[in-house]
Amino acid sequence: MSSTGVENLIQPSRSLDSSKLLAAHRLRSDQEAIQAAHQIAGGLEAEASARDRVRRLPHTEIELLTRSGLWGITIPKVFGGPGVSHSTLVEVFAILAAADSSLGQIPHNHFCVIDAIRLDGTEAQKRFYFEQVLTGRRFGNAFSEAGTKNLMDIQTRITPDGDAFRVNGKKFYSTGALFAHIIPTAALNEDKKGLLVLIPRDTPGLTVVDDWDGFGQRTTASGSVLLNNVRVESDWIIPVYRAYDRPTLTGPLSQIIQAAIDAGIARTAIRETIEFVRTRARPWIDSNVDKASEDPLTISQVGDLEIRLHAAEALLQRAARFLDEAEEIPTETTVAKVSTAVAEAKVVTTEIAILATNKLFELAGTQSTLGKYNLDRHWRNARTHTLHDPVRWKYYAIGNYYLNNVNPPRHPWN
């Protein structure tokens, strides 16, 4: 342990005792999922600012969220889940992110892993892991690596070891791993093909390190996962490379969840702006009005924010509908259409998240920058989260699709 050079190690046997796992509620429909999200959002939001201020990780809140049943809403009906629509999934994420965008981001990779198992897992793996999720177990992630040439330059390797395998590598940006029972790990085999290895949290050689110190999304705990000669079984392995050898909705699914989180950030930033302008802000001296909420230029700016937010939400739901329509039999044509629609949504949700969190201070005034309000967390969270996938390349992919009939690239970031 001392060789890692870090002090904030989370011991899985103490933090995630499966014997103390409380059963998750089993949601049965889209309506129940939306209701559950609204019901829990108030409790998540109540301490969101305080958690951000001192970087208190939301262990208790994650357990409450799990027990609500929301972590299992995309499990197919044939396996006992509600199999909600993408429209519902998007709205659930937006609701949770509006309450606490750090907490709202934590389940993102969990749902991507469910999709990977659905696409390329064996029937036995689907039955086992989907039931695990419905019972209350969570997937984290150990996908990305820091310091490599690019996102696709994966250095983590999986090698044969008798009738099993060994995994070695170091991961970063591992959102959700600190709170996970199973840590899906991206690794390349001897043929340089990408595999997803579903490693139980207490497996010897696997260490989760709480070393995330980004100025935004502070309580996502998106730190490191260290894999030192970790022995894994063959039935823990999902051949995820296959999802990119054929048309699938894997990339668009990941992207639309990210966009929903940004929409949630924008919702709260605009709500906070309106509240501050109504109750605390002063009108500018040249406006000749008594209240900041009567300032015609402020009124105009709030109107612009609401229009842009509603446009972003409409594009999100449009993209979600395309996902639902294409899910049955995805083709090159339908997947390209979905990817482009999701890219459009990602552009506008990024822009409204950044704009709304900037305008908060412009319209609310200098008082809004005081530390006691901690309103800067919205800008910090928006600026940090929107860096996941650069929108400058979304514009290019969208333009190339419409102008030159070139389909978007097929990878998790598109």
Beta-carbon neighbour count of residue 359 at 10 Å? Answer: 19
Region 295-322 average pLDDT: 98
Crossing angle of helices 108-120 and 250-279, rounded to 10°: 160
**pLDDT at 6 exceeding the cut of 50:** no
Residue 343 tokens read as 């890219």
Q: Model's pTM, two decimal places?
A: 0.94
**pLDDT at 148 exceeding the cut of 90:** no
Region 335-354 average pLDDT: 98
The whole-angstrom separation of Cα 410 and Cα 413 is 8
Rounded percentage of the chain residues whose pLDDT exceeds 90: 90
| CA-wise closest residue to 168 among 237, 238, 226 | 226
- Residue 310: its H or E element: helix 296-326
C-alpha Rg value of the chain to the nearest Å: 22
Query: What pLDDT does 152 receive?
Result: 77
The whole-angstrom separation of Cα 108 and Cα 223 is 15
**pLDDT at 122 exceeding the cut of 60:** yes
Residue 389 pLDDT class (50, 70, 90 cuts): confident
- What is the per-residue pLDDT across 70-105, written as a single tens digit (0 to 9) for each? 999 999 999 999 999 999 999 999 999 999 999 999
Region 273-285 average pLDDT: 97
Query: What pLDDT does 410 receive?
Result: 86
The whole-angstrom separation of Cα 62 and Cα 193 is 33
The whole-angstrom separation of Cα 175 and Cα 222 is 4
The whole-angstrom separation of Cα 347 and Cα 34 is 25
DSSP alpha helix (H) spans, 100-184:
101-105, 108-120, 123-135
Average pLDDT, the chain: 93
Query: What pLDDT does 56 receive?
Result: 97
Q: Scanning the structure block, which residue is given the tokens 């022995």?
A: 231
Residue 20 tokens read as 């103390």
**pLDDT at 114 exceeding the cut of 90:** yes
The whole-angstrom separation of Cα 341 and Cα 158 is 35
The whole-angstrom separation of Cα 223 and Cα 184 is 15
The whole-angstrom separation of Cα 224 and Cα 108 is 17
**pLDDT at 41 exceeding the cut of 70:** yes
The helix/strand count (H/E) of the chain reads as 13, 8
**pLDDT at 214 exceeding the cut of 90:** yes
- What is the per-residue pLDDT across 14-33, written as a single tens digit (0 to 9) for each? 344 444 556 899 999 999 99
Give the Å distances, CA to CA, from 152 to 109, 144, 246: 17, 9, 18
Domains and CATH numbers, the chain: 2-135 (1.10.540.10), 157-240 (2.40.110.10), 246-404 (1.20.140.10)
Residue 328 pLDDT class (50, 70, 90 cuts): confident
Residue 171 pLDDT class (50, 70, 90 cuts): very high
Beta-carbon neighbour count of residue 32 at 10 Å? Answer: 19
Please work out, in degrees rounded to the nearest 5, the angle formed at the alpha carbon of residue 83 by the alpha carbons of 77 and 87: 160
Confirm if 243 and 119 have CB atoms less than 8 A apart.
Answer: yes
The whole-angstrom separation of Cα 307 and Cα 182 is 41
Region 314-322 average pLDDT: 98
Give the Å distances, CA to CA, from 365 to 45, 90, 161, 259, 355: 24, 33, 62, 28, 15
